[in-house]
């Protein structure tokens, strides 16, 4: 990324740092350190921080300044729903063809390895699969945004990850749906892997995992793509 020269660039950069967890939830924003990190003066930085606070991305810190809000079920819901919408938007127009076939063959080849892998390795492979799938039809900004959402949702994904057998079955269903152009099965597979398109997330305090249930109202996600680059491996 080149030198940051305007408030909008600072805004995007800071929002990306919040989305990826580089500015951890529940911590105070060190404006001096952030100014040095981004190589910007305090005036455009403060203007960008004020704008982010007005949108609820940041909050007021005790004693003045800004802080990153603590991770909450509502924030996780917005992030999870934004990811589901982003993936569905770019996967929907895909049809079996020269670009999709190599990815499908690679996924089919790797399924036995995923099943035998540790949960964190399986989750990392699944995130890479989403990135590569979306990259077939999305530009770099959208892929980078998905990468940010994957990072922000890592702990939540790990806590509520499907058993290997169910995850493999859902991935196979998605690949078959893409191969056949079956929209209904594609959406069923996306729901199994990513959760419903809309929902309210609640905490089950007994087992300390997140569950999803239908919601009467839903607030649209307002995340802005970061200037961060994707780390597709």
pLDDT in tens, 6-33: 888 899 889 878 876 678 778 899 999 9
Burial of 127 (0-12, 13-18, 19+ CB in 10 A): buried
Q: Is residue 51 part of a domain?
A: yes
Q: Is residue 229 part of a domain?
A: no
Q: Are 69 and 59 in contact (CB under 8 A)?
A: yes
Q: Is residue 198 part of a domain?
A: yes
Number of domains in the chain: 2
pLDDT at 204: 29
Tokens at residue 93, please? 């127009």
Domain span at 36: 7-67
CATH code where residue 117 lies: 1.20.120
Tokens at residue 105, please? 């063959």
Select from 67, 91, 114 the last residue of a domain.
67
Residue 137 half-sphere exposure, CB side, CA atoms within 13 Å?
Answer: 17
Tell me the whole-structure pTM to 2 decimals: 0.60
pLDDT at 171: 82
Return the residue matching tokens 């793509």.
Answer: 225
User: Does 110 share its domain with 187?
Assistant: yes
Tokens at residue 52, please? 């982010």
pLDDT in tens, 146-166: 988 888 788 788 887 777 778
pLDDT at 96: 66
User: Does 139 share its domain with 207?
Assistant: yes
Instruction: List the single range of 40-49, 90-99, 213-222 with lowest mean pLDDT.
Output: 213-222
Q: Is residue 84 part of a domain?
A: yes
User: Does 60 share its domain with 169?
Assistant: no
Cβ neighbours of 54 (radius 10 Å): 9
pLDDT in tens, 27-82: 899 999 999 999 999 999 999 999 998 888 898 888 889 998 887 787 788 788 88
User: Does 53 share its domain with 90?
Assistant: no
User: Does 88 share its domain with 183?
Assistant: yes
Cα–Cα distance measured from residue 115 to residue 229, given in angstroms and rounded to the nearest whole number: 29
Q: Is residue 95 part of a domain?
A: yes
Helices (H), strands (E): how many in the chain? 10, 4
Q: Is residue 228 part of a domain?
A: no
pLDDT in tens, 99-124: 788 887 877 777 767 667 787 888 88
């Amino acid at each position: 990324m080149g030198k940051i020269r305007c408030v909008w660039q600072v805004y995007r950069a800071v929002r990306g740092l919040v989305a990826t967890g580089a500015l951890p939830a529940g911590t105070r924003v060190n404006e001096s350190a952030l100014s040095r990190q981004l190589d910007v003066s305090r005036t455009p930085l403060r203007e960008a921080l004020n704008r982010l606070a007005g949108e609820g991305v940041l909050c007021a810190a005790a004693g003045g300044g800004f802080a990153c809000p603590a991770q909450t079920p509502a924030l996780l819901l917005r992030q999870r729903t934004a990811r589901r919408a982003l993936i569905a938007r770019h996967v929907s127009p895909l049809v079996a063809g020269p670009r999709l076939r190599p990815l499908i063959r690679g996924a089919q080849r790797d399924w036995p390895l995923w099943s035998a892998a540790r949960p964190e390795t399986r989750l990392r492979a699944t995130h890479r699969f989403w990135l590569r799938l979306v990259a077939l039809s999305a530009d770099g900004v959208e892929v980078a945004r998905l990468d940010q959402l994957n990072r922000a949702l890592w702990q939540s994904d790990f806590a509520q990850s499907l058993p290997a057998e169910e995850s493999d079955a859902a991935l196979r269903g998605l690949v078959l749906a893409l191969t056949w152009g079956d929209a209904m099965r594609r959406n069923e597979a996306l729901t199994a892997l990513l959760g419903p398109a809309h929902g309210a997330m609640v905490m089950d305090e007994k087992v300390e995992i997140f569950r999803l249930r239908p919601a009467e109202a839903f607030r649209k996600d307002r995340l802005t793509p970061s200037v961060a680059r994707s780390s597709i491996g």
